[in-house]
Amino acid sequence: MQVTQQLVQLAADGDIGSITNGIKPDWAVFGAIGTKAKIIVGVVMAGAVLFLLGSAIVGAVHIRVGNQQHNSMETKKGQTMVGSSLIGLFAVASMSTLFGIVYGFGI
């Protein structure tokens, strides 16, 4: 009971910023762009991540169906979809880091 009260008190004292500050990217040299631009970039990145996750799920379904039907073409298609989706997810997730590195090399 006491632990629950402590958790409620901690939750009441904090704000959502304390949680999301650990998740959002460090903009480094691109920190000078406006707040609206950061929001737009975040929304585009989130949309891309959702699309790529959906594509990976569809690829997993292709693998499953291909294995059940003994169809190696369908399985290979699923493997390609899953692999390319995961590579795309990695690229989107590390976009701010990649831009920072490229900007640093340019200076």
Q: Which residues contact 100 (CB under 8 A, 6 or more apart)?
A: 28, 29, 30
Average pLDDT for the chain:
77
- Whole-model pTM: value is 0.61
d(CA 105, CA 42): 24
Q: How confident is the model at residue 64 (pLDDT cuts 50, 70, 90)?
A: very high
Q: Inform me whether the pLDDT recorded for 92 exceeds 80.
A: yes
